[in-house]
Chains A and B, each alone.
Chain A
Protein backbone atom coordinates (compact mmCIF):
# COMPACT_ATOMS: atom_id res chain seq x y z
CA UNK A 1 0.00 0.00 0.00
CA UNK A 2 1.19 3.50 -0.82
CA UNK A 3 0.62 6.06 1.89
CA UNK A 4 1.18 9.81 1.50
CA UNK A 5 1.11 11.64 4.83
CA UNK A 6 0.86 15.45 4.89
CA UNK A 7 3.14 15.87 1.92
CA UNK A 8 4.13 19.38 0.84
CA UNK A 9 6.46 20.36 -1.98
CA UNK A 10 7.62 23.94 -2.28
CA UNK A 11 9.51 25.50 -5.18
CA UNK A 12 10.79 28.72 -3.65
CA UNK A 13 7.70 30.47 -2.30
CA UNK A 14 5.33 28.49 -4.52
CA UNK A 15 3.62 25.44 -3.01
CA UNK A 16 3.21 22.91 -5.82
CA UNK A 17 1.50 20.47 -3.43
CA UNK A 18 0.18 21.53 -0.09
CA UNK A 19 -0.22 19.10 2.79
CA UNK A 20 -1.80 16.26 0.82
CA UNK A 21 -2.60 12.84 2.25
CA UNK A 22 -4.07 9.77 0.58
CA UNK A 23 -3.66 6.00 0.47
CA UNK A 24 -3.57 3.70 -2.53
CA UNK A 25 -4.60 0.15 -1.56
CA UNK A 26 -2.95 -2.89 -3.14
CA UNK A 27 -4.63 -4.22 -6.26
CA UNK A 28 -6.74 -1.09 -6.78
CA UNK A 29 -6.77 1.62 -9.42
CA UNK A 30 -6.51 5.12 -8.04
CA UNK A 31 -7.29 8.20 -10.12
CA UNK A 32 -5.61 11.53 -9.41
CA UNK A 33 -7.56 14.22 -11.22
CA UNK A 34 -7.18 17.94 -11.46
CA UNK A 35 -6.74 20.84 -13.82
CA UNK A 36 -3.47 21.72 -15.52
CA UNK A 37 -0.94 22.81 -12.91
CA UNK A 38 -2.94 21.31 -10.03
CA UNK A 39 0.12 19.35 -8.85
CA UNK A 40 -0.55 15.85 -10.23
CA UNK A 41 2.84 15.37 -11.92
CA UNK A 42 4.65 16.86 -8.91
CA UNK A 43 2.85 14.36 -6.66
CA UNK A 44 4.06 11.50 -8.87
CA UNK A 45 7.61 12.86 -8.89
CA UNK A 46 7.58 13.07 -5.11
CA UNK A 47 6.27 9.50 -4.81
CA UNK A 48 9.10 8.32 -7.07
CA UNK A 49 11.67 10.46 -5.20
CA UNK A 50 12.70 12.23 -8.42
CA UNK A 51 12.21 15.33 -6.30
CA UNK A 52 12.20 15.35 -2.52
CA UNK A 53 9.17 16.57 -0.59
CA UNK A 54 9.63 19.64 1.59
CA UNK A 55 7.45 18.20 4.35
CA UNK A 56 5.59 14.96 5.06
CA UNK A 57 6.19 11.28 4.42
CA UNK A 58 5.77 8.89 1.52
CA UNK A 59 5.54 5.25 2.60
CA UNK A 60 5.27 2.07 0.55
CA UNK A 61 4.24 -0.97 2.57
CA UNK A 62 4.92 1.11 5.71
CA UNK A 63 8.53 1.81 4.70
CA UNK A 64 10.17 4.89 3.28
CA UNK A 65 10.72 4.71 -0.44
CA UNK A 66 14.33 3.93 -1.33
CA UNK A 67 16.16 3.21 -4.56
CA UNK A 68 15.58 -0.52 -3.98
CA UNK A 69 11.83 -0.03 -3.38
CA UNK A 70 11.63 1.90 -6.66
CA UNK A 71 12.38 -1.32 -8.55
CA UNK A 72 8.77 -2.32 -7.74
CA UNK A 73 7.47 0.84 -9.42
CA UNK A 74 6.76 1.47 -13.07
CA UNK A 75 6.44 5.04 -14.31
CA UNK A 76 4.95 6.58 -17.41
CA UNK A 77 5.87 10.30 -17.35
CA UNK A 78 3.48 12.87 -18.80
CA UNK A 79 5.80 14.40 -21.38
CA UNK A 80 7.76 12.35 -23.92
CA UNK A 81 10.43 10.66 -21.86
CA UNK A 82 11.92 8.69 -24.71
CA UNK A 83 15.36 9.41 -26.16
CA UNK A 84 14.59 10.36 -29.80
CA UNK A 85 17.83 9.05 -31.31
CA UNK A 86 17.39 5.52 -29.92
CA UNK A 87 15.48 2.72 -31.60
CA UNK A 88 12.62 1.13 -29.66
CA UNK A 89 14.80 -1.93 -28.97
CA UNK A 90 17.81 0.13 -27.84
CA UNK A 91 15.63 2.26 -25.63
CA UNK A 92 13.98 -0.71 -23.92
CA UNK A 93 17.36 -2.38 -23.50
CA UNK A 94 18.68 0.79 -21.85
CA UNK A 95 15.74 1.22 -19.50
CA UNK A 96 15.54 -2.52 -18.83
CA UNK A 97 19.25 -2.51 -17.95
CA UNK A 98 18.56 0.19 -15.38
CA UNK A 99 16.11 -2.22 -13.76
CA UNK A 100 18.80 -4.94 -13.85
CA UNK A 101 17.00 -7.05 -16.45
CA UNK A 102 18.88 -9.44 -18.75
CA UNK A 103 19.01 -8.53 -22.45
CA UNK A 104 17.22 -11.73 -23.50
CA UNK A 105 14.45 -11.12 -20.96
CA UNK A 106 14.05 -7.53 -22.18
CA UNK A 107 13.71 -8.65 -25.80
CA UNK A 108 11.18 -11.36 -25.00
CA UNK A 109 8.98 -9.02 -22.95
CA UNK A 110 9.29 -6.21 -25.49
CA UNK A 111 8.16 -8.47 -28.31
CA UNK A 112 5.24 -9.68 -26.16
CA UNK A 113 4.05 -6.09 -25.58
CA UNK A 114 4.66 -4.92 -29.16
CA UNK A 115 2.57 -7.83 -30.42
CA UNK A 116 -0.12 -7.00 -27.89
CA UNK A 117 -0.35 -3.45 -29.30
CA UNK A 118 0.09 -4.68 -32.91
CA UNK A 119 3.23 -2.59 -33.44
CA UNK A 120 5.92 -5.25 -33.72
CA UNK A 121 7.19 -3.62 -36.93
CA UNK A 122 8.46 -0.67 -34.85
CA UNK A 123 11.02 -2.79 -32.98
CA UNK A 124 13.98 -1.33 -34.85
CA UNK A 125 12.47 2.08 -35.66
CA UNK A 126 13.88 5.21 -34.11
CA UNK A 127 11.70 6.90 -31.51
CA UNK A 128 11.79 10.19 -33.43
CA UNK A 129 10.16 8.44 -36.42
CA UNK A 130 7.14 7.26 -34.39
CA UNK A 131 3.79 9.03 -34.17
CA UNK A 132 2.76 10.61 -30.86
CA UNK A 133 0.31 7.80 -30.16
CA UNK A 134 2.85 5.07 -30.85
CA UNK A 135 5.40 6.85 -28.68
CA UNK A 136 2.85 6.81 -25.86
CA UNK A 137 2.39 3.06 -26.33
CA UNK A 138 6.16 2.57 -26.17
CA UNK A 139 6.25 4.63 -22.97
CA UNK A 140 3.59 2.37 -21.50
CA UNK A 141 5.59 -0.71 -22.53
CA UNK A 142 8.78 0.73 -21.00
CA UNK A 143 7.01 1.37 -17.70
CA UNK A 144 5.77 -2.25 -17.65
CA UNK A 145 8.82 -4.05 -18.96
CA UNK A 146 10.16 -5.06 -15.55
CA UNK A 147 6.69 -6.18 -14.39
CA UNK A 148 6.35 -3.68 -11.52
CA UNK A 149 3.88 -4.20 -8.68
CA UNK A 150 2.94 -0.53 -8.66
CA UNK A 151 2.28 1.49 -11.81
CA UNK A 152 2.24 5.27 -11.97
CA UNK A 153 0.73 6.54 -15.19
CA UNK A 154 0.77 10.29 -15.84
CA UNK A 155 -1.80 11.07 -18.55
CA UNK A 156 -1.54 7.61 -20.18
CA UNK A 157 -4.26 8.27 -22.77
CA UNK A 158 -2.73 11.47 -24.08
CA UNK A 159 -2.29 11.42 -27.87
CA UNK A 160 -3.99 8.05 -28.38
CA UNK A 161 -6.70 7.39 -30.98
CA UNK A 162 -10.01 5.84 -29.74
CA UNK A 163 -8.97 2.29 -30.70
CA UNK A 164 -5.64 2.63 -28.91
CA UNK A 165 -7.43 4.11 -25.88
CA UNK A 166 -9.60 0.99 -25.68
CA UNK A 167 -6.52 -1.26 -26.05
CA UNK A 168 -4.75 0.58 -23.25
CA UNK A 169 -7.82 0.48 -20.97
CA UNK A 170 -7.99 -3.27 -21.54
CA UNK A 171 -4.31 -3.59 -20.63
CA UNK A 172 -4.75 -1.55 -17.45
CA UNK A 173 -7.68 -3.72 -16.35
CA UNK A 174 -5.67 -6.87 -17.14
CA UNK A 175 -2.83 -5.57 -14.98
CA UNK A 176 -5.33 -4.92 -12.18
CA UNK A 177 -6.57 -8.48 -12.50
CA UNK A 178 -2.97 -9.64 -12.10
CA UNK A 179 -2.93 -7.86 -8.73
CA UNK A 180 -0.99 -4.76 -9.76
CA UNK A 181 -1.71 -1.44 -8.08
CA UNK A 182 -2.18 1.49 -10.44
CA UNK A 183 -2.35 5.22 -9.89
CA UNK A 184 -3.00 7.42 -12.88
CA UNK A 185 -3.91 10.97 -13.79
CA UNK A 186 -6.18 12.06 -16.60
CA UNK A 187 -8.20 14.99 -17.86
CA UNK A 188 -10.74 12.53 -19.32
CA UNK A 189 -13.27 11.92 -16.54
CA UNK A 190 -15.02 9.14 -18.48
CA UNK A 191 -11.76 7.12 -18.43
CA UNK A 192 -11.36 7.70 -14.70
CA UNK A 193 -14.97 6.76 -14.05
CA UNK A 194 -14.58 3.57 -16.06
CA UNK A 195 -11.32 2.38 -14.49
CA UNK A 196 -10.88 3.74 -10.97
CA UNK A 197 -11.86 2.32 -7.60
CA UNK A 198 -10.82 5.44 -5.73
CA UNK A 199 -10.07 9.01 -6.68
CA UNK A 200 -8.62 12.26 -5.34
CA UNK A 201 -9.32 15.67 -6.84
CA UNK A 202 -6.41 18.09 -6.70
CA UNK A 203 -6.82 21.85 -7.05
CA UNK A 204 -3.92 24.27 -6.68
CA UNK A 205 -1.84 21.69 -4.82
CA UNK A 206 -4.59 20.75 -2.33
CA UNK A 207 -6.84 17.71 -2.24
CA UNK A 208 -10.39 19.02 -2.30
CA UNK A 209 -12.18 15.68 -2.54
CA UNK A 210 -11.14 12.06 -2.12
CA UNK A 211 -12.60 8.64 -1.47
CA UNK A 212 -14.07 5.67 -3.28
CA UNK A 213 -15.69 6.51 -6.58
CA UNK A 214 -18.96 4.94 -5.42
CA UNK A 215 -19.11 7.06 -2.24
CA UNK A 216 -18.27 10.28 -4.05
CA UNK A 217 -20.93 9.64 -6.70
CA UNK A 218 -23.43 8.88 -3.95
CA UNK A 219 -22.51 12.12 -2.18
CA UNK A 220 -23.15 14.11 -5.35
CA UNK A 221 -26.47 12.41 -6.25
CA UNK A 222 -24.98 10.05 -8.85
CA UNK A 223 -23.92 12.82 -11.14
CA UNK A 224 -21.25 12.03 -13.73
CA UNK A 225 -17.67 12.48 -12.59
CA UNK A 226 -17.32 15.29 -15.11
CA UNK A 227 -20.20 17.21 -13.43
CA UNK A 228 -18.85 16.43 -9.97
CA UNK A 229 -15.38 17.69 -10.96
CA UNK A 230 -16.76 20.94 -12.41
CA UNK A 231 -18.93 21.63 -9.37
CA UNK A 232 -16.22 20.76 -6.78
CA UNK A 233 -13.51 22.79 -8.52
CA UNK A 234 -15.99 25.63 -9.18
CA UNK A 235 -17.01 25.78 -5.51
CA UNK A 236 -13.39 25.82 -4.42
CA UNK A 237 -12.65 28.67 -6.84
CA UNK A 238 -15.64 30.65 -5.55
CA UNK A 239 -14.58 30.17 -1.93
CA UNK A 240 -11.06 31.30 -2.77
CA UNK A 241 -12.37 34.41 -4.57
CA UNK A 242 -14.72 35.33 -1.72
Chain B
Protein backbone atom coordinates (compact mmCIF):
# COMPACT_ATOMS: atom_id res chain seq x y z
CA UNK B 1 0.00 0.00 0.00
CA UNK B 2 1.30 3.44 -0.96
CA UNK B 3 0.81 5.35 2.30
CA UNK B 4 2.03 8.61 0.79
CA UNK B 5 -0.78 8.59 -1.78
CA UNK B 6 -3.34 7.50 0.80
CA UNK B 7 -2.20 10.32 3.08
CA UNK B 8 -2.36 12.87 0.25
CA UNK B 9 -5.90 11.83 -0.72
CA UNK B 10 -7.03 11.99 2.92
CA UNK B 11 -5.41 15.40 3.31
CA UNK B 12 -7.12 16.71 0.18
CA UNK B 13 -10.54 15.26 1.04
CA UNK B 14 -10.48 16.43 4.67
CA UNK B 15 -9.37 19.92 3.63
CA UNK B 16 -12.14 20.07 1.03
CA UNK B 17 -14.73 19.00 3.60
CA UNK B 18 -13.62 21.55 6.19
CA UNK B 19 -12.49 24.52 4.13
CA UNK B 20 -15.81 25.38 2.57
CA UNK B 21 -18.48 27.93 3.37
CA UNK B 22 -21.11 25.32 4.27
CA UNK B 23 -18.92 23.83 6.96
CA UNK B 24 -18.41 27.31 8.44
CA UNK B 25 -22.14 28.14 8.24
CA UNK B 26 -23.09 24.80 9.83
CA UNK B 27 -20.67 25.38 12.69
CA UNK B 28 -21.80 28.93 13.36
CA UNK B 29 -25.44 27.70 13.55
CA UNK B 30 -24.44 24.71 15.70
CA UNK B 31 -22.48 26.95 18.08
CA UNK B 32 -25.41 29.33 18.52
CA UNK B 33 -27.85 26.43 19.12
CA UNK B 34 -25.56 24.77 21.69
CA UNK B 35 -24.95 28.12 23.39
CA UNK B 36 -28.71 28.66 23.71
CA UNK B 37 -29.36 25.05 24.79
CA UNK B 38 -26.71 25.02 27.53
CA UNK B 39 -27.76 28.43 28.85
CA UNK B 40 -31.50 28.08 28.37
CA UNK B 41 -32.27 28.20 32.12
CA UNK B 42 -30.38 31.51 32.41
CA UNK B 43 -32.06 32.92 29.32
CA UNK B 44 -35.51 31.85 30.50
CA UNK B 45 -34.87 33.34 33.98
CA UNK B 46 -33.77 36.60 32.39
CA UNK B 47 -36.88 36.73 30.22
CA UNK B 48 -39.11 36.02 33.22
CA UNK B 49 -37.39 38.72 35.29
CA UNK B 50 -37.92 41.25 32.53
CA UNK B 51 -41.55 40.24 31.91
CA UNK B 52 -40.90 39.12 28.36
CA UNK B 53 -43.70 36.81 27.26
CA UNK B 54 -43.92 35.31 23.83
CA UNK B 55 -47.37 33.84 24.37
CA UNK B 56 -50.44 35.78 23.34
CA UNK B 57 -52.56 35.47 26.46
CA UNK B 58 -56.12 35.97 25.35
CA UNK B 59 -58.77 35.60 28.07
CA UNK B 60 -60.44 32.16 27.96
CA UNK B 61 -64.05 31.74 29.05
CA UNK B 62 -64.63 28.43 30.86
CA UNK B 63 -68.32 27.64 31.10
CA UNK B 64 -68.98 25.03 33.78
CA UNK B 65 -72.05 22.81 33.64
CA UNK B 66 -71.96 21.32 37.15
CA UNK B 67 -75.48 20.61 38.59
CA UNK B 68 -73.99 18.77 41.62
CA UNK B 69 -71.47 21.57 42.26
CA UNK B 70 -68.52 19.19 42.24
CA UNK B 71 -65.85 21.65 41.07
CA UNK B 72 -67.46 25.03 40.30
CA UNK B 73 -66.95 26.67 43.70
CA UNK B 74 -63.33 25.55 44.00
CA UNK B 75 -62.59 26.54 40.37
CA UNK B 76 -64.21 29.94 40.76
CA UNK B 77 -62.35 30.57 44.00
CA UNK B 78 -58.97 29.85 42.37
CA UNK B 79 -59.39 31.39 38.94
CA UNK B 80 -62.40 33.71 39.21
CA UNK B 81 -60.16 36.72 39.80
CA UNK B 82 -57.55 35.70 37.17
CA UNK B 83 -57.21 37.92 34.12
CA UNK B 84 -56.52 34.79 32.01
CA UNK B 85 -59.83 33.06 32.74
CA UNK B 86 -63.45 34.05 32.95
CA UNK B 87 -65.47 31.41 34.85
CA UNK B 88 -69.20 31.12 34.13
CA UNK B 89 -71.75 28.67 35.50
CA UNK B 90 -74.25 27.41 32.90
CA UNK B 91 -77.40 25.32 33.28
CA UNK B 92 -77.25 23.43 29.98
CA UNK B 93 -74.95 22.62 27.04
CA UNK B 94 -76.11 24.82 24.14
CA UNK B 95 -73.39 23.66 21.72
CA UNK B 96 -73.71 21.30 18.77
CA UNK B 97 -72.44 21.05 15.16
CA UNK B 98 -74.92 23.77 14.27
CA UNK B 99 -73.97 25.97 17.18
CA UNK B 100 -70.19 25.87 17.57
CA UNK B 101 -68.65 27.80 20.51
CA UNK B 102 -66.36 30.81 19.89
CA UNK B 103 -62.55 30.34 19.66
CA UNK B 104 -61.92 31.32 23.28
CA UNK B 105 -64.87 29.48 24.88
CA UNK B 106 -64.64 26.04 26.56
CA UNK B 107 -67.56 24.20 28.11
CA UNK B 108 -66.80 21.77 30.93
CA UNK B 109 -69.56 19.37 31.91
CA UNK B 110 -69.03 17.44 35.18
CA UNK B 111 -71.08 14.60 36.64
CA UNK B 112 -70.61 12.12 39.46
CA UNK B 113 -70.67 8.43 38.65
CA UNK B 114 -70.64 5.31 40.81
CA UNK B 115 -67.86 3.57 38.80
CA UNK B 116 -65.45 6.38 37.88
CA UNK B 117 -66.48 8.69 40.73
CA UNK B 118 -66.38 11.71 38.41
CA UNK B 119 -66.73 12.00 34.63
CA UNK B 120 -66.22 15.13 32.56
CA UNK B 121 -66.78 16.34 29.00
CA UNK B 122 -64.98 19.21 27.32
CA UNK B 123 -66.59 21.06 24.40
CA UNK B 124 -64.62 23.57 22.33
CA UNK B 125 -64.24 24.72 18.73
CA UNK B 126 -60.64 23.48 18.25
CA UNK B 127 -58.05 21.63 20.38
CA UNK B 128 -57.45 23.04 23.86
CA UNK B 129 -54.08 24.50 24.86
CA UNK B 130 -52.14 22.08 27.11
CA UNK B 131 -51.73 24.62 29.94
CA UNK B 132 -55.49 25.17 30.12
CA UNK B 133 -56.18 21.44 29.92
CA UNK B 134 -53.75 20.84 32.81
CA UNK B 135 -55.56 23.41 34.96
CA UNK B 136 -58.93 21.73 34.31
CA UNK B 137 -57.51 18.22 34.77
CA UNK B 138 -55.89 19.13 38.12
CA UNK B 139 -59.21 20.55 39.36
CA UNK B 140 -61.07 17.39 38.30
CA UNK B 141 -58.50 15.15 40.02
CA UNK B 142 -58.73 17.16 43.21
CA UNK B 143 -62.54 17.07 43.12
CA UNK B 144 -62.50 13.32 42.58
CA UNK B 145 -60.11 12.79 45.51
CA UNK B 146 -62.33 14.91 47.77
CA UNK B 147 -65.44 13.00 46.70
CA UNK B 148 -63.74 9.62 47.16
CA UNK B 149 -62.39 10.59 50.61
CA UNK B 150 -65.83 11.80 51.69
CA UNK B 151 -67.55 8.65 50.42
CA UNK B 152 -65.07 6.34 52.19
CA UNK B 153 -64.69 8.41 55.29
CA UNK B 154 -60.91 8.91 55.06
CA UNK B 155 -58.86 12.11 55.05
CA UNK B 156 -57.27 13.62 51.95
CA UNK B 157 -53.77 13.22 53.48
CA UNK B 158 -54.39 9.50 53.94
CA UNK B 159 -55.57 9.23 50.35
CA UNK B 160 -52.48 11.09 49.05
CA UNK B 161 -50.15 8.78 51.01
CA UNK B 162 -51.90 5.79 49.49
CA UNK B 163 -51.42 7.19 45.98
CA UNK B 164 -47.67 7.82 46.39
CA UNK B 165 -45.12 5.38 44.88
CA UNK B 166 -43.40 2.96 47.23
CA UNK B 167 -39.88 4.37 47.80
CA UNK B 168 -37.24 1.81 46.68
CA UNK B 169 -33.59 2.72 47.11
CA UNK B 170 -31.10 0.85 44.92
CA UNK B 171 -27.68 0.50 46.50
CA UNK B 172 -24.89 -0.95 44.30
CA UNK B 173 -21.80 -1.82 46.30
CA UNK B 174 -19.37 -2.88 43.51
CA UNK B 175 -16.53 -0.48 42.53
CA UNK B 176 -17.79 -0.14 38.95
CA UNK B 177 -21.28 0.49 40.22
CA UNK B 178 -20.31 3.98 41.36
CA UNK B 179 -22.17 6.67 39.46
CA UNK B 180 -24.16 4.01 37.66
CA UNK B 181 -26.95 6.47 36.88
CA UNK B 182 -24.52 8.85 35.22
CA UNK B 183 -23.02 5.95 33.28
CA UNK B 184 -26.46 4.84 32.19
CA UNK B 185 -27.11 8.35 30.86
CA UNK B 186 -23.71 8.41 29.12
CA UNK B 187 -24.47 5.01 27.57
CA UNK B 188 -27.77 6.22 26.17
CA UNK B 189 -26.33 9.47 24.86
CA UNK B 190 -23.17 7.91 23.45
CA UNK B 191 -25.08 5.20 21.58
CA UNK B 192 -27.21 7.97 20.12
CA UNK B 193 -24.01 9.82 19.13
CA UNK B 194 -22.69 6.66 17.43
CA UNK B 195 -25.92 6.41 15.51
CA UNK B 196 -25.89 10.06 14.41
CA UNK B 197 -22.22 9.93 13.42
CA UNK B 198 -22.83 6.74 11.44
CA UNK B 199 -25.73 8.30 9.55
CA UNK B 200 -23.55 11.21 8.48
CA UNK B 201 -20.48 9.15 7.65
CA UNK B 202 -22.19 6.32 5.79
CA UNK B 203 -24.30 8.59 3.64
CA UNK B 204 -21.26 10.75 2.84
CA UNK B 205 -19.12 7.77 1.88
CA UNK B 206 -21.89 6.25 -0.23
CA UNK B 207 -22.51 9.56 -1.95
CA UNK B 208 -18.85 10.36 -2.67
CA UNK B 209 -17.93 6.92 -3.97
CA UNK B 210 -21.13 6.58 -6.00
CA UNK B 211 -20.65 10.04 -7.51
CA UNK B 212 -17.09 9.25 -8.57
CA UNK B 213 -18.17 5.86 -9.89
CA UNK B 214 -21.14 7.16 -11.85
CA UNK B 215 -19.16 10.08 -13.31
CA UNK B 216 -16.46 7.56 -14.37
CA UNK B 217 -13.85 9.68 -12.61
CA UNK B 218 -13.00 6.50 -10.74
CA UNK B 219 -11.29 5.34 -13.94
CA UNK B 220 -8.88 8.23 -13.71
CA UNK B 221 -8.40 7.67 -9.97
CA UNK B 222 -7.62 4.00 -10.49
CA UNK B 223 -4.74 4.88 -12.81
CA UNK B 224 -3.11 6.47 -9.76
CA UNK B 225 -4.08 4.31 -6.79
CA UNK B 226 -5.29 0.76 -6.27
CA UNK B 227 -8.94 0.08 -5.45
CA UNK B 228 -7.97 -0.85 -1.88
CA UNK B 229 -5.99 2.37 -1.38
CA UNK B 230 -8.89 4.35 -2.80
CA UNK B 231 -11.48 2.79 -0.47
CA UNK B 232 -9.30 3.15 2.61
CA UNK B 233 -8.55 6.79 1.74
CA UNK B 234 -12.24 7.58 1.29
CA UNK B 235 -13.23 5.85 4.52
CA UNK B 236 -10.49 7.52 6.54
CA UNK B 237 -11.02 10.99 5.10
CA UNK B 238 -14.78 10.97 5.70
CA UNK B 239 -14.29 9.49 9.18
CA UNK B 240 -11.68 12.09 10.11
CA UNK B 241 -13.84 14.95 8.78
CA UNK B 242 -16.81 13.72 10.81
CA UNK B 243 -14.76 13.21 13.95
CA UNK B 244 -13.43 16.76 13.59
CA UNK B 245 -17.05 17.93 13.49
CA UNK B 246 -17.83 15.87 16.62
CA UNK B 247 -14.80 17.40 18.35
CA UNK B 248 -15.91 20.92 17.41
CA UNK B 249 -19.39 20.17 18.76
CA UNK B 250 -17.84 18.94 22.02
CA UNK B 251 -15.79 22.14 22.28
CA UNK B 252 -18.93 24.24 21.73
CA UNK B 253 -20.64 22.25 24.49
CA UNK B 254 -17.72 22.93 26.89
CA UNK B 255 -17.80 26.65 26.02
CA UNK B 256 -21.57 26.74 26.57
CA UNK B 257 -21.18 25.01 29.93
CA UNK B 258 -18.40 27.38 30.99
CA UNK B 259 -20.61 30.37 30.20
CA UNK B 260 -23.43 28.71 32.13
CA UNK B 261 -21.05 28.14 35.07
CA UNK B 262 -20.09 31.81 35.05
CA UNK B 263 -23.78 32.72 35.35
CA UNK B 264 -24.25 30.18 38.15
CA UNK B 265 -21.16 31.54 39.90
CA UNK B 266 -22.55 35.06 39.71
CA UNK B 267 -25.94 34.09 41.13
CA UNK B 268 -24.94 31.48 43.73
CA UNK B 269 -21.38 32.50 44.63
CA UNK B 270 -20.00 28.99 43.93
CA UNK B 271 -16.36 28.70 42.73
CA UNK B 272 -15.79 28.35 38.97
CA UNK B 273 -13.97 25.01 39.21
CA UNK B 274 -16.57 23.27 41.37
CA UNK B 275 -19.42 24.62 39.29
CA UNK B 276 -18.04 23.26 35.99
CA UNK B 277 -17.78 19.58 36.75
CA UNK B 278 -16.92 17.21 39.54
CA UNK B 279 -14.96 14.60 37.54
CA UNK B 280 -15.13 10.93 38.49
CA UNK B 281 -12.16 8.96 37.08
CA UNK B 282 -14.29 5.88 36.39
CA UNK B 283 -16.56 8.04 34.20
CA UNK B 284 -13.53 9.44 32.38
CA UNK B 285 -12.22 5.93 31.63
CA UNK B 286 -15.73 4.93 30.59
CA UNK B 287 -15.97 7.83 28.16
CA UNK B 288 -12.49 7.05 26.76
CA UNK B 289 -13.41 3.41 26.07
CA UNK B 290 -16.65 4.62 24.51
CA UNK B 291 -14.67 6.99 22.24
CA UNK B 292 -12.31 4.16 21.22
CA UNK B 293 -15.27 1.96 20.34
CA UNK B 294 -16.94 4.80 18.48
CA UNK B 295 -13.89 5.25 16.24
CA UNK B 296 -13.56 1.48 15.75
CA UNK B 297 -17.22 1.05 14.84
CA UNK B 298 -17.27 4.03 12.54
CA UNK B 299 -14.18 2.74 10.73
CA UNK B 300 -15.46 -0.81 10.29
CA UNK B 301 -18.97 0.27 9.27
CA UNK B 302 -17.56 2.84 6.87
CA UNK B 303 -15.37 0.17 5.32
CA UNK B 304 -18.40 -2.09 4.82
CA UNK B 305 -20.28 0.86 3.30
CA UNK B 306 -17.41 1.68 0.95
CA UNK B 307 -17.14 -1.94 -0.19
CA UNK B 308 -20.90 -2.19 -0.75
CA UNK B 309 -20.95 1.12 -2.64
CA UNK B 310 -18.14 -0.04 -4.91
CA UNK B 311 -20.47 -2.83 -6.08
CA UNK B 312 -23.30 -0.42 -6.96
CA UNK B 313 -23.88 1.37 -10.23
CA UNK B 314 -25.86 4.45 -9.19
CA UNK B 315 -26.21 6.97 -6.37
CA UNK B 316 -29.70 5.62 -5.61
CA UNK B 317 -28.39 2.07 -5.24
CA UNK B 318 -25.62 3.33 -2.97
CA UNK B 319 -28.30 5.05 -0.88
CA UNK B 320 -30.10 1.73 -0.50
CA UNK B 321 -26.98 0.07 0.89
CA UNK B 322 -26.74 2.90 3.43
CA UNK B 323 -30.34 2.28 4.45
CA UNK B 324 -29.63 -1.42 5.04
CA UNK B 325 -26.60 -0.68 7.19
CA UNK B 326 -28.45 1.98 9.15
CA UNK B 327 -31.35 -0.40 9.73
CA UNK B 328 -28.85 -2.84 11.22
CA UNK B 329 -27.46 -0.09 13.44
CA UNK B 330 -30.94 0.98 14.60
CA UNK B 331 -31.77 -2.62 15.55
CA UNK B 332 -28.51 -2.89 17.50
CA UNK B 333 -29.20 0.43 19.15
CA UNK B 334 -32.66 -0.65 20.32
CA UNK B 335 -31.52 -4.12 21.39
CA UNK B 336 -28.56 -2.79 23.37
CA UNK B 337 -30.68 -0.15 25.08
CA UNK B 338 -33.21 -2.71 26.21
CA UNK B 339 -30.76 -5.54 26.92
CA UNK B 340 -27.98 -3.91 28.89
CA UNK B 341 -28.52 -2.35 32.27
CA UNK B 342 -26.91 -2.69 35.70
CA UNK B 343 -30.11 -4.36 36.82
CA UNK B 344 -30.32 -7.11 34.17
CA UNK B 345 -28.19 -10.27 34.27
CA UNK B 346 -25.95 -10.70 31.21
CA UNK B 347 -26.80 -13.88 29.32
CA UNK B 348 -24.29 -16.04 27.38
CA UNK B 349 -26.06 -14.95 24.17
CA UNK B 350 -25.24 -11.33 24.92
CA UNK B 351 -21.59 -12.30 25.53
CA UNK B 352 -21.43 -13.98 22.14
CA UNK B 353 -22.95 -11.15 20.14
CA UNK B 354 -20.91 -8.60 22.08
CA UNK B 355 -17.72 -10.10 20.68
CA UNK B 356 -18.69 -9.13 17.12
CA UNK B 357 -17.28 -5.93 15.63
CA UNK B 358 -19.84 -3.09 15.33
CA UNK B 359 -22.15 -4.85 17.78
CA UNK B 360 -19.50 -4.40 20.44
CA UNK B 361 -19.79 -0.61 20.27
CA UNK B 362 -23.32 -0.84 21.49
CA UNK B 363 -22.80 -3.58 24.04
CA UNK B 364 -19.31 -3.38 25.51
CA UNK B 365 -19.38 0.14 27.02
CA UNK B 366 -22.82 -0.57 28.41
CA UNK B 367 -21.59 -3.87 29.84
CA UNK B 368 -18.74 -2.03 31.54
CA UNK B 369 -21.35 -0.70 33.90
CA UNK B 370 -21.84 -4.19 35.23
CA UNK B 371 -18.16 -5.11 35.06
CA UNK B 372 -18.53 -7.97 32.61
CA UNK B 373 -16.76 -6.63 29.58
CA UNK B 374 -13.00 -7.11 30.11
CA UNK B 375 -12.70 -10.26 28.00
CA UNK B 376 -15.02 -8.91 25.33
CA UNK B 377 -13.02 -5.70 25.14
CA UNK B 378 -9.80 -7.68 24.72
CA UNK B 379 -11.36 -9.81 21.98
CA UNK B 380 -12.53 -6.74 20.11
CA UNK B 381 -9.22 -4.96 20.22
CA UNK B 382 -7.58 -8.12 18.82
CA UNK B 383 -10.31 -8.23 16.17
CA UNK B 384 -9.68 -4.56 15.34
CA UNK B 385 -5.95 -5.23 15.02
CA UNK B 386 -6.64 -8.18 12.72
CA UNK B 387 -9.01 -6.13 10.54
CA UNK B 388 -6.43 -3.37 10.05
CA UNK B 389 -3.74 -5.95 9.44
CA UNK B 390 -5.81 -7.74 6.78
CA UNK B 391 -6.62 -4.42 5.07
CA UNK B 392 -2.93 -3.60 4.99
CA UNK B 393 -2.08 -7.01 3.53
Contact = CB atoms under 8 A, between A and B. Distances in A.
A48 B5 contact: no
Contacts of B304: none
Provide the main secondary structure of the chain B interface: helix
A205 to B, nearest CB: 20
Interface in A24-64: 45, 48-50
Interface string A74-107: 0101011111110000100111011110000000
The size bracket of the interface on B is 20 to 34
Interface in B1-59: 2, 4-5, 8-9, 11-12, 16
A88 B212 CA distance: 15
A192 interface: no
B215 interface: yes
Interface in A113-129: none
Contacts of A98: 5, 8-9, 221, 224-225
A94 B217 CA distance: 11
Given A67-B2, A98-B8, A98-B9, A80 B224 contact: no
Contacts of B223: 48-50, 70, 73, 75
A139 B321 CA distance: 31
B224 A85 contact: no
B141 interface: no
Contacts, number: 62
B371 to A, nearest CB: 48
Contacts of B224: 67, 70-71, 95, 98-99
The size bracket of the interface on A is 20 to 34
Contact of B12 (A48, A81, A83, A94): A94
Interface string B214-240: 011101111111100000000000000
A82 B9 contact: no
B8 A81 contact: no
Interface centre among A77, A85, A94 (most CB of B within 10 A): A94
A80 B215 contact: yes
A142 interface: yes
A80 B12 CA distance: 22
B222 A50 contact: yes
Contacts of B16: 90, 94
Contacts of A85: 211
Given A50-B219, A94-B16, 19 more contacts: A45-B219, A48-B222, A49-B222, A49-B223, A67-B2, A73-B223, A79-B216, A81-B215, A81-B216, A83-B215, A93-B12, A95-B224, A97-B8, A97-B12, A98-B8, A98-B221, A98-B225, A100-B4, A142-B220
The 9 closest A-B pairs by CB, nearest first: A98-B224, A81-B216, A97-B12, A81-B217, A77-B219, A97-B8, A50-B222, A48-B223, A79-B216
